[in-house]
Amino acid sequence: MKKFSFLWLFVLLATVTMAQDAKHISPAVKSATVFLNGAILTQSATVNLRKGNNEIILTNLASGIDENTIKVKVNGKAFVVSINKMLNHIVKNRESKEALALKDSLKFYEKKRTDLNAEINVLRQKLTLLNNLLQKGNGSLTLTQVKKSLQFFNKESVKLNYKIENDKQLFNKIMERISDIKKQLSELNSLKPKPVNEVGVVINSQKNRSVEVTVSYFTRSASWRAFYNIYSNGFGSPVVLTMNANVKQQTGIEWKDISLTISTRNPYLNNNKPKLNPWFIDFRQNYPVRMYKSERARKRRDKLAASPPGNNATFFVSEKIKDLSVEYNVKLNFPIPPDGKGRLVEIKKQTFNADYYYSLVPKYSSNGFLVCKIKSWKPTGWLPGNANIYYENSYVGKTYINPQTTGKEFTLSLGQDVSIKAQRKLVKDFKEGKFLSGDVKRIFNYEIIVKNNKQKSCNVTVEDQVPVSKDEKIKVEVTETSGAAYSEKNGKVVWKLKLKPGEKKILKLNFTVTYPGDKEISGL
């Protein structure tokens, strides 16, 4: 037992001694490949090695490291013996100059707050003491002395109260200043510095030499999302669509003058191919049917968010199409601090010829929506995201677009236009019974009034619908559509019109629903 204790102590001392002799190197960030969730960071530094084993501690690495992804490479005639991830709770992430200056200001104002609070308390005690002395001495004083005492009390109490009120106002201003500084520090994500990630590396060299050591790893503390700008100069003009990467990182280290790559890959997707289990059918039982675990897992899987891109008109971004993703290499260097705030960089820009028209859905809105349709659409490289709309050099508003459409056309909604109006009126809702069959026939007649209040002709599409039966005993019959295209499968009714300036048209939509009289209909 004693031998074992001595051996353990020897190993512990050797480890401590080795850790003390280790070289602490802070490698600079050279490149970052940012995924939809997470990023690959690469840092490197030049290290002087001596002959034999050298223990190097690479410090100031990013937070949120997946230790199974750490790779260390030596550029020179030396090789890596071992790699060990560590967490340094003593040394925190280095803060920015702005954060350090704010913390100095915070200490200054907190001390001033403490001093001022103490001064207010002393002034209040003086006022209380003065009041007590006046009350105790009134019984033994002559009238003249009382008058002089009152004059003295009034004079001193006015001074003390005036000083207290001034100090209270100053105290409130200091508290506001402290609150503002704390909010700004919170914006900089600097109130709670995080422990520093480190990687211990043992490198063997055959002789004394200088080598470059590069460490790369995956960190969860970065991401990006697509954000769009849509530009149009009006009817007949092309549409310009730009996709921006809103890059965020909270790695604890600043990215400055690095090679930045934006990837459409999402490392958190399930990479296991789905497995088809036997599809059993049977008569329905009275007890609930158990759902297979594989089916539940299938429903939880995310859809693939990445796809290859199309043409790119952004001059400082180059794109590379890979089998599973697309990578945009940003050649313009700009800093991305670790504050978790998004930094926008334009990574894709393309101009499209488009057909413009106004779309109306009077069942839900009386206003027209200006729409442009891009033909021969290729969804490669475009991801879903929010968008700003700019029309005729004016900001219109925001929208959400999903370019991942499987169709050959892609439609963009550019905003509402109150000059194109539609009113939907229920003219007739009549129910009649059939004596012989016992069925009920319900008749619906609608009128849709469409008017163009513009001073130019406009192409207008009007959409409405009729109900779709899910039971063969419920029969739906369309009797009037005013020449609209009607889809029996989804019940959609579409009119395509060209309205002259000031022109008004009345569209009719009539249909009947027949069903058994002893049944209630839902959704009608």
Q: How far apart are CA 447 and CA 218, in angstroms?
A: 61
Give strand ranges (E) for 136-267: 195-205, 209-232, 239-249, 259-263
CATH 3.40.50.1100 fits 414-516, yes or no: no
Terminal alpha carbon distance of the chain:
86
37-49 and 209-232 beta bridge pairing = antiparallel
Q: What angle do CA 153, 154, 160 make, to 5 degrees?
A: 85
259-263 and 28-34 beta bridge pairing = parallel
**Structure tokens of 171?**
């105290």
- What pLDDT is recorded for position 6? 46
Q: How far apart are CA 394 and CA 410, in angstroms?
A: 23
| Whole-number CA gyration radius for the chain | 37
Q: How far apart are CA 387 and CA 356, in angstroms?
A: 19
28-62 as b/e, with b when 16 or more CB fall inside 10 Å?
A: ebebbbbbbbbbbbbbbbebebeeeebbbbbbbbb
Q: Is 273 left (phi over 0), alpha (psi -120 to 50) or beta?
A: beta
Distances (CA, A) of 408 to 172, 232, 326, 356, 403: 63, 21, 21, 16, 11
From the list 373, 382, 371, 377, the residue with the least C-alpha distance to 407 is 377
- Give the mean pLDDT per block of 10 residues along the chain (524 residues): 45 42 86 94 93 91 90 89 76 64 86 87 80 64 62 75 86 89 73 73 91 94 93 89 92 89 87 67 47 39 33 64 81 82 88 91 92 84 90 88 80 88 91 72 93 91 91 89 91 93 94 86 76
**Structure tokens of 516?**
């058994």
- DSSP notation for 109-126: HHHHHHHHHHHHHHHHHH
- What pLDDT is recorded for position 507? 95
336: Cβ contacts below 8 Å, ≥ 6 apart = 247, 249, 254, 255, 256, 260, 343
pTM: 0.67
516: Cβ contacts below 8 Å, ≥ 6 apart = 438, 439, 440, 473
- Amino acid identity, position 62: A
How far, in whole angstroms, is CA 230 from its chain's centroid? Answer: 19
**Structure tokens of 84?**
């060990």
Contact 134, 146 (CB under 8 A): no
